[in-house]
Structure 1
Amino acid sequence: MWKVMLSFPMTSEKILQELENVLQDKRVCASLQAHPVHTSLLNFAMMHPTKHVLLNLCDPKKLLTLLSLSSLPILWLVLRALVMLSETSQMVTDVQVLLPEVMEALQYENTHINMKALTIFKNVIRHLEKKEASPIALALAGRLLPLFNDVSSEVRECSMLLFKDLMESVLWWKKGEMKKTVHRAIIPLLFRMSDETESVAKVQISDLAIDEGTGCADTRRVF
C-alpha cells in the first residue's frame, strides 16, 4: 500500500499526515517492527527542522536500527530526518556513519526514496574535505550509473550532478580508480545527451563536459 502511495507525486505534507495517523496505531507499529522509542524519533522526523527537533533526531544508533527495518514508509521518514541533519555542518559526522545504509536505499528504485538518498549524499559531500569525501565518492559513483536511466527526470538530473561532485571530490592519487567508473559512465551519458527533459540533456554538456563532436567525456578538469 505504502509503495503504491509513494509512487504518486503527492506532497510531503499529505504523506506525513498519513504516516502520522498510521504510527498512532500500536498494532500497525508492531507489524512494522517499530517500538515506542522508534516512533518517538519518527514523530520528530515529521516536524519542522528546528534546533530542538534536530538535536532529538541526531541519534545514529536509533536511526541505524530504523534503516534496517523492511518498511518503506519508515525508510522514507528516516531519510527525511537525515536530509534535515545533513544540511547542518555540525551534524554531518553523525550522518556520515549511516551512509552505507543510505546507499542501500537506492535498491528500492523508488523516486521519493532515491531523491532523498541523493540529497543526503549531496549535502554530506558538500560539508566534507576531500580526505573524507574521497572514499565516499569512490564507493558511491558506480551505484549512481543505473540512475542515469531512471524513469524520473528529476532522479536522472540529480544523480548526474552528484556524479560530477563525486568526480571532483576524489583525492589526486585515487583518481585512477575513479577514472574506471567515469569510463563506464560515458555510454549512458551519451544516450542522455538527447534526453527529452532539457535540463537533463544540459547536464551532459555543461556539467559533465560530454563533447558532442567526439562523443568523449572531457575529464581533464578532474583527471
Structure 2
Amino acid sequence: MVLVFTEAMTDSSTFDKEAARNMLDVVKGNCDFWLVDVPKITSCIHKTLGCINTAPARQSVESLIVWMADKCPGEVVSTLLTIAPPGDSTALALWEVMFSVPQTLQSVLKELLIQLQDPKSRLFCTYLEDHCLVSLAMLAGSDLGDREFALLYMAFRFLKEESPAMLSLVLTGIMTLSQTDEMARKMKVMLPDLMWVLQCGNKAIKIKALAIFRTVMAQLQREEASPIAVTLAGFLLPLFDDVSLMYKADV
C-alpha cells in the first residue's frame, strides 16, 4: 500500500495525488505492518522523487523518508548508499531533507559515521568528500568543549571542500546543528571558512552560509564578536550589492 501511494504521487491527477497524500498519513499511524519493508520503500521514494512535480506531493514523500529515518536510520542509510550511485542528485536531495531535521540529522550522521568506514560504501564521488561527512558526524556526535571542538574542526576544515554538492549538504547539516545555542557558540571557529564560502560558493550556498554566519555571531559576546566583525567586514560588503541574496538569508 505504501508503495502504491508513493508511486501515485507522480500521477497527473491532482485528486489522485491528494488521495495518496491522505492515505500515506493514515498508514504512518500503523507502521508495525510495513516497517519491515523500509529498504523497498526507500528505493521506491528514490525512484519516484524526480517525477513528482508538485510541492505538496513532494513534501509528503519527503516527510515519509524523514519519518522512516527516525524509526529505522540504519536501514534508510544503508539502502541509499547501496542503490544510489555516488553523487546521485535524487539521493542528495533526500540526504538534504534528512539533514534539515535535528533529531533525524543526529541519527543519520551516526549511521553514516559507521557505514562510510566501509570502502565499498560511497555517498559522493571521492573518499575526501565522504570524509567531510565523517568529520561532520564526529563534531555532531561528540560532547566536546569549545577548545576541543575547534581543534577537531581545524584538523579537517571540511568547509574548504570545493564540491558544490558537498558544500550544500554540509552547510545544511551545520544550519540544523546551529539551532542549539551551545553548538552555535562552538561554531565560531568556522567563521573564516564561511567567509571563503561566501566568496566562492554559488547563490544557494551563499544563502546557507549567511544564515549560519548570522546564527553564530548572535551567540557571541560583544567583545568577542567585534574583532571578528571588523576582520570579516570586507568580505561581507560585496554581498550587500545582491539584494535578493541578502533578503533570502534574512541578514
Give TM-score, length-normalised by structure 1. 0.48
| Higher helix proportion | 2
Give TM-score, length-normalised by structure 2. 0.44
